[in-house]
Amino acid sequence: MACIRWIVIKNFRGIKKLSWQPEPGMNCLIGPGDSSKSTVLDAIDLCLGARRNVPFADTDFHRMDTSNPIQVHIIVGMLPEELLSIDAYGIFLKGYDAAKSQLYDEPQTNLEPVLQVSLTVESDLEPSWTIHSERSNAEGIVRQVAWREKVMLAPTRIGTSSDYNLSWQRGSVLNKLTEERADASAALIQAGRDAREAFGTQANSQLADALGIVTDTASDLGVNVGGSAQALLDSHSVSFGSGTIALHNAEGIPLKAMGVGSSRLLISGLQRHTVTGSTIVLADELEYGLEPHRVVSLLRSLGSKDSEPQRQVFATTHSPIALRELNGSQLTVIRPTADDHFVANIGQTDQLQGTIRLFPEAFLARSVIVCEGATEVGFLRGVDVYRADHGAPSFTALGASLVDIGGGHPDKAYERALAFQKLGYRVMVVRDADIQPNPLLEAEFTQNHGQVLHWQAPLFLEQQLFNSLPSDACIDLLYRAIEHHEDLVDSHLRTVSDGTMGSQTIIDEQLTTGALSQETRACLGRAASQKRGWFKSIGIMEAVTRDIIAPALNRSAPDLLTIMSELSIWVEMRDA
């Protein structure tokens, strides 16, 4: 099967420069919106597709700068026998070393022979497709891509419109299934004659005035219409090509009438059986028109579970379902940077593979907030809901996603954060301050523009909250804890205070003095953060943050306000 080994795109739409060496099988591009995922598929399609004419406009140039030509260079390996002919392609063949990801201008022993197909569009908007190498350039030899070469390499695009592939038109999936060809010409010609005879001249009376004008005008201009013009069925109104033959179901209903999702699913399945043409498939927005279980079916139909790739697939998705179904080596992150596009395969490290399963949304986000545990996740979710309820943009609207590492040593948070960071994500770590992380890990993370948000040493989140919130909010938290854990609250309070404090003691202190002592606040914080803590679940912590903590933040101590201000500034920094 033909296989794309290397893609270079320059000055095409949102891409100033991109260089990528895709995998032989499934290549699913992920990233935030407007990161040019679909543009990559369009570039492949335009460079290798079997089209005679492609209209280009100034808007296809990066930032509409037509002084820099559009260039798409694609290195194709696993070439069909016809493209390996030394006589025809010897001066154009190059060598590719997959192990070293290295391209050589001449084919060599132990190197895969490859061809470079290039699409160039200058300011005159006229596209040019060529096959070339440095050797051919040096000798002034330019070879245009022939039509038969385009047909051999042209990818199959599974798009939102599937009519083309559900009939036996030239280049369709159905036409590539077998070498069989149906000739409908004779049958259609006879059908046209029968229809003309049955229809007869009945339209003459219905269109008499128009026919009179035509006849008179023809007579005045000396155009011979044989007396009077007639309205008959046009003998050319029926196409006599093989494209006239289309798929229908058992009841005679055209399969073109199926839903978009069903059509895409059927075409992807048929494409596996093609015996002619390229085995490169393009599928933009995999999930379009499909329920979750059929997204899984589509991926498997495209070969996501094949042990040996039978075709090369380029896809895009915004579906968490698709991410869970694919492994890290099939997922590629694409993100725009100042001067070019960052492209990186996720791979199958333990740090990321588990995160894909648990938090696929994080890989579709612009920014990632790695939280030490469920308490932090619930707290940030509650802050986010409160913000959105009061007119501020939510974290998700700003492109941020939360990841819970499940507690433990803070080094786990930095290891996960560094893995995201190396894939080009903006990352923040939110952690407790009771245990200090490995300083080398933290330094590596912050030196790469990572942001750290932690509570005052040596506090847990619960301790920070009871230390900093106004006393009435602390009492409201105590009441909510009793609601959820009536049997635990007093037990925890007595344990941490050596039996000197209980919930009623603390409530009475607030009623009597209108405030809580620092000792009482410390006791509440230690009790709330016990192993079976009061708010150690995402749901409970989210609710108490939304209802109690977030409304009281503007009356809190400066240390907590500073931390929350840093969080807001980082999340809202769109241009970082």
Strand-pairing partners, residue 156, are 281
Of all residues in the chain, the percent with pLDDT exceeding 90 is: 60
Q: Give backbone dihedrals phi and psi of 73, rounded to 5 degrees, phi first.
A: -115, 125
Question: Does 437 sit behind a cis peptide bond, omega within 30 degrees of 0 on the bond before it?
Answer: no
| pLDDT band, very low/low/confident/very high, at 182 (cuts 50, 70, 90) | low
Is the model's pLDDT at 540 over the cut of 60?
yes
What does pLDDT average to over the chain? 87
Q: Structure tokens of 225? A: 């219409």
CA distance 355 to 405: 9
* pLDDT for position 438: 95
Spatial contact of 143 and 133, defined as CB atoms under 8 Å apart: no
Backbone angles phi, psi at 453, to 5 degrees: -125, 115
* Count of CA atoms in the C-beta half-sphere (13 A) of 434: 14
CB neighbours of residue 249 within 10 Å: 10
Confidence of residue 575 (pLDDT cuts 50, 70, 90): low
pLDDT higher for 202 or 74? Answer: 74
Sign of CA dihedral 182, 180, 150, 58: positive
The count of other CB atoms within 10 Å of the CB of residue 228 is 12
| pLDDT (0 to 100) of residue 355 | 87
Average pLDDT over residues 46-67: 92
- Return the pLDDT at 88: 87
Question: Quick check: helix, strand or coil at residue 395?
Answer: coil
Domain boundaries, the chain: 3-158, 173-178+243-336, 365-576
Q: What would the DSSP string read from start to end of 301-347?
A: HTTTT-SS-SSEEEEE---HHHHHHS-GGGEEEEEE-SSSEEEEE--
Statement: residue 8 has pLDDT above 90: yes
Q: Residue 221: its pLDDT value, please?
A: 44
Residue 306, token pair as written in the block: 């094949």
**CA proximity to 82, closest of 146, 172, 170:** 146
pLDDT at 570 over 90: yes
| Cβ-contact 559, 493 below 8 angstroms | no
> pLDDT per residue over 440-492, tens digit each?
999 999 999 999 999 999 999 999 999 999 999 999 999 999 999 988 999 99
Q: What are phi and psi of 304, to 5 degrees?
A: -65, -25
**131 strand-pairing partners:** 117, 143
The string of pLDDT tens digits covering residues 381-402 is 999 999 999 999 999 889 999 9
Query: What mean pLDDT is predicted for residues 417-434?
Result: 94
Query: Could you read off the pLDDT of 187-244 as tens digits, one per residue?
Result: 666 776 676 666 666 666 776 777 676 666 666 545 465 677 676 655 555 555 555 6
Phi-psi region for residue 12, left (φ > 0), alpha (ψ -120 to 50) or beta? beta
Give the three-class secondary structure for 445: helix
Q: Are 19 and 321 in contact (CB under 8 A)?
A: no
DSSP code per residue over 234-298: -TTSS--SGGG-B-B-TTS-BGGGS-HHHHHHHHHHHHTT--SS--EEEESSTTTT--HHHHHHH
pLDDT of residue 9: 98
Q: Does residue 510 register a pLDDT over 60?
A: yes
Mean pLDDT of 110-130: 95
| Rounded Cα gap, residues 427 and 416, in angstroms | 10
Compute CA distances 140 → 65, 72, 93, 129, 267, whole Å.
28, 20, 16, 16, 43
Q: Which residues contact 455 (CB under 8 A, 6 or more apart)?
A: 432, 433, 461, 463, 464, 563
Residues 529-538 have a mean pLDDT of 90
Architecture of the domain whose range is 3-158: 3-Layer(aba) Sandwich (3.40)
DSSP string, 25-38: SEEEEE-STTSSHH
Instruction: Give residue 42's pLDDT.
Output: 95
- Look at residue 328 in the predicted model and tell me its pLDDT: 92
Structure tokens at 536: 């150690």
pLDDT at 217: 64
Q: 248 pLDDT band (50/70/90 cuts)?
A: low
Helices (H), 407-460: 410-421, 439-447
CA nearest neighbour of 163 among 173, 154, 149: 173
Q: What pLDDT does 232 receive?
A: 64
Least confident of 30-34, 258-262, 364-368, 374-378: 258-262
pLDDT digits (tens, 9 = 90+) for 302-341: 899 998 988 899 999 999 999 999 999 999 999 988 888 9
Determine what percent of the chain is predicted with pLDDT higher than 70.
Answer: 83
pTM, two decimals, is 0.81
